[in-house]
Amino acid sequence: MKRIILARSAGFCFGVKRAMSIADETAAGRNEGGGGPIASLGPLIHNPQAVEELEKKGVRVVGEVADIAGGKVIVRSHGITRTEHEALVAKGVTIIDATCPFVTKAQEHAQALSRQGYAVIVVGDADHPEVKSIISYIEPGTPVITTLREIRDATKIRKAGIVAQTTQSFDNLMQFVGEALRKFTEVRVCNTICNATILRQRESTALAGTVEAMIVLGGYNSANTRRLAEICREINRKTIHIETAAELPADIVDRVRTVGVTAGASTPQWIVDAVVARIRDVWRGDRIGVSYYK
Ligand code: F3S
């Protein structure tokens, strides 16, 4: 019998699921704010197919606040900066906040630390919208540090507080904590890492080690999906990252008897289902079992 084994953690995480359902409700007119156009500030999630579906429902992606004339604006799960939020308020548009509560927590910690006189170390990718949103909530005049070198070079700082981008690895956070402890008299750590990413990586790599070929689904523009594919490939060389069922390499799937399937946090269930259907199609005529990993 041939087998398709699905990672239980494949697909939307809590924050993305929540953001998508808020967007759906907004498109259906079920929440506050009356009528008018609906925009999302940046693509709601890193999955072109899901964004396209939302556009069909009337949710238009805009690049910046200046492009918004009125109506409703959905704030995506990464959050937005304080300046962007103030600009939206000044425009009088209805803000539908789909910021992931874990990101909001990180913003709140950063703000509280700065109000209590701590320099703030933000562990993460400084160009990522989530990190920009966290930094924007730090009180003006507070020293903000985002690299290990900046910790080593810091002067006149006695106490520092640490927050992390929600998708950072624990190891990376610990490197910053260690460096900060060597440098400052007082260090306060707020562990703002979300477990969803790490649990998905753990389950997917374990699954990759038990199957002949591993399919990783998700947007090519999703850093987390690319990373997921990378670490699965370290375990299983027949790891293939695709965005849709149409891209499934039938020749590879045809030559194996077990295929694992996982998906990044912004991959909708219908894409996972379509890939499973496509694998069944390639294996037409064989007995096929579909199950979840463990
Ligand atoms: Fe939120 Fe964690 Fe997803 S921070 S958006 S639940 S990966």
**Looking at residue 271, which CATH number applies to its domain?**
3.40.1010.20
What is the 8-class DSSP label of residue 93? Answer: P
**Gap from CA of 12 to ligand 1 centroid (Å):** 9
**Gap from CA of 193 to ligand 1 centroid (Å):** 9
Helix %, strand %, coil % of the chain (to 5): 45, 20, 35
CA distance 4 to 291: 7
**Gap from CA of 16 to ligand 1 centroid (Å):** 7
pTM: 0.87
Per-residue pLDDT of the chain (294 residues; tens, 9 = 90+): 999 999 999 999 999 999 999 999 999 887 666 678 999 999 998 889 989 999 999 999 999 999 998 899 999 999 999 999 999 999 999 999 999 999 999 999 999 999 999 999 999 999 999 999 999 999 999 999 999 999 999 999 999 999 999 988 888 999 999 999 999 999 999 999 999 988 999 999 999 999 999 999 999 988 889 989 999 999 999 999 999 999 999 999 999 999 999 999 999 999 999 999 999 999 999 999 999 998
Instruction: Decide if 53 is catalytic.
Output: no
Final residue before a domain boundary, out of 60, 81, 99: 99
Ligand 1 proximity of 77 Cβ (cutoff 6 Å): yes
- Residues 130, 179, 203, 243: which is the catalytic one? 130
Residues 6+ apart with CB under 8 A from 79: 99, 100, 103, 104, 107, 129, 130, 133, 134
Give the Å distances, CA to CA, from 42 to 75, 99, 169, 172, 207: 8, 13, 25, 27, 33
User: What is the CATH number for 59?
Assistant: 3.40.50.11270
Ligand 1 proximity of 166 Cβ (cutoff 6 Å): yes
State which residues form the domain around 139.
102-189
For residues 48 and 116, membership in a common domain is answered with: no
- Relative to beta strand 119-123, strand 144-145 is parallel
